[in-house]
Copies of this chain bind each other. A is one copy, B any other.
Amino acid sequence: MDYSRFYSGDIPGLMRSPVREIFRKVDLNAIYSFAGGYPDASTFPVEDIRRITSEVLDKYGAKALQYGATQGVPELREVISKRYSVPVENIQITTSSQQGIDVCTRVFADPGDTILCTNPTYLGAIQSFKSYRANLMTLDAFKEAVARGEKPKAKFCYVIPDFQNPSGETMTLSQREDLVALAEKEDFLIVEDSPYRELRYSGEEVPSIYSLCPERTLHLGSFSKIFAPGFRLGWILGPVELLDKIYVVKQSLDLCPPILDQYLAAHFMGSGLLDQNLKKSIALYRTKRDHLLSLLEKYMPDGVSWTHPEGGLFLFLTLPPHIDTVALYDKALSAGVAYVAGSFFHLDGSGKNTMRMNFSFLDINRMEEGIRILAEVLKEA
């Protein structure tokens, strides 16, 4: 049976995540994977979770298993409020920060509405924006249009200011201030996606965009990289009026975020376990980043350059212009190495000679062999 006559207008333009398609076909543990954005599984606090599950069930009993408030359980909103010095009423818990992106797009974008992004940007955001048939425009193109005296309109600008996915780069304070000034002048909102902010390995913390301009910013936080991604929990900080709209949409999305998971996250964050664990994760990831940077230095042929991230999970490689990392992917995978081609993160199909490398997932002792193989594949090309 052909079902195409039943589909909504969103469906023909749907974009599959190339990253998730890779995961579908390949056992990541069987290869040298620099693909994906998986945290190192050794950072997951398995024993803590076993213990705090028991403590949460002792304390809350059946309440931890019942339906709960759409905004999130009060205990979790309170620990987030305390940690980030934001009033409870400015906090909405989400079922993953991906849901945060989805719900913001839903609340603001009609088909054809313009959303601004950096180029490259996070694939899952591009996917969400395209699924709502929004018009994606690079921030640079928008600025040029403004400079030409056109009056371009945008609903919001999506940015990942800290240790960006995929580039690994961090916006300076003056870049953030410029973006806020532009948002105020040209009248758009800012969606600040911030899953990696607490994973800083060097350099100085820069104020969040939310802290610079709380009335125009929705700040998306995530437990995936500081607790465990399997819980699918995130949060949105934002103006009460915008969160109210998000709250009503969320009622029809999934009623409320998972309850037991929220109590576990609240307990983990509130009791100091998160900070203890984070300290260990940061030390591990710093070592991994430094190791990967030294391996790239050692093995990569001339003409290859890369970013030097101060935190997060990714760095970004630029290869000589004649190399197409999509075309090269199957060869690399056959040789045992996975990456994500950089063009997938570009709005305009550019970046063919780039790739994103994740340094959080792969065992540090297997990195050298992976990079050696990748360098061989690149040299052949």
| Residues of chain A whose beta carbon lies under 8 Å from any beta carbon of chain B | 1, 3, 5-11, 14-17, 20, 23-24, 36, 38-39, 41-42, 44, 46, 49-50, 53-54, 57, 61-70, 95-96, 98-99, 101-102, 106-110, 113, 124, 127-128, 131, 155-156, 187-189, 215-216, 224, 228-232, 239, 241-242, 245, 248-249, 251-261
Q: Are A109 and B8 in contact (CB under 8 A)?
A: yes
| A126 CB, nearest partner CB in chain B, Å | 9
A-B contact pairs, 27 of them (CB 8 A): A3-B239, A3-B241, A5-B187, A6-B108, A6-B155, A8-B113, A10-B106, A10-B107, A16-B248, A17-B252, A20-B255, A24-B69, A41-B65, A41-B66, A46-B62, A49-B57, A49-B260, A50-B53, A66-B229, A66-B230, A95-B95, A95-B258, A98-B252, A102-B253, A102-B254, A124-B252, A258-B261
CB closest chain-B residue, reference A109 = B8
CB closest chain-B residue, reference A251 = B17
How far is B66's CA from A228's CA once the two chains are assembled, in angstroms? 6
Q: Could you say which residues of chain B place their CB within 8 Å of the CB of A230?
A: 64-68, 258-260
CB closest chain-B residue, reference A101 = B252
How far is B232's CA from A232's CA once the two chains are assembled, in angstroms? 11
Once A44-B65, A57-B50 are accepted as A-B contacts, the answer to whether A232 and B252 lie under 8 Å apart by CB is: no
Q: Which of A124, A187, A260 has the most CB of B within 10 A?
A: A260
Q: Could you say which residues of chain B place their CB within 8 Å of the CB of A61?
A: 41, 46
Once A24-B69, A46-B57 are accepted as A-B contacts, the answer to whether A232 and B249 lie under 8 Å apart by CB is: no
Q: Could you say which residues of chain B place their CB within 8 Å of the CB of A231?
A: 65, 258-260
CB closest chain-B residue, reference A100 = B254
CB closest chain-B residue, reference A228 = B65
Q: Are A251 and B53 in contact (CB under 8 A)?
A: no
CB closest chain-B residue, reference A94 = B254
Q: Could you say which residues of chain B place their CB within 8 Å of the CB of A16?
A: 248, 251
| A188 CB, nearest partner CB in chain B, Å | 8
Once A14-B249, A69-B24 are accepted as A-B contacts, the answer to whether A255 and B53 lie under 8 Å apart by CB is: no
Sorted nearest first, the 6 A-B pairs with minimum C-beta distance are: A230-B259, A41-B62, A65-B228, A128-B252, A65-B230, A44-B65
How far is B256's CA from A232's CA once the two chains are assembled, in angstroms? 8
Once A230-B258, A252-B127 are accepted as A-B contacts, the answer to whether A8 and B41 lie under 8 Å apart by CB is: no
In the complex, which of the residues B54, B68, B95, B239 contacts A1, with contact meaning CB atoms closer than 8 Å?
B239
How far is B189's CA from A47's CA once the two chains are assembled, in angstroms? 47
Once A8-B106, A98-B252, A108-B6 are accepted as A-B contacts, the answer to whether A65 and B38 lie under 8 Å apart by CB is: no
Instruction: With A20-B255, A41-B61, A41-B62 given, name 9 new contacts (CB 8 A).
Output: A10-B249, A38-B66, A46-B61, A50-B57, A95-B232, A96-B255, A127-B251, A232-B256, A261-B261
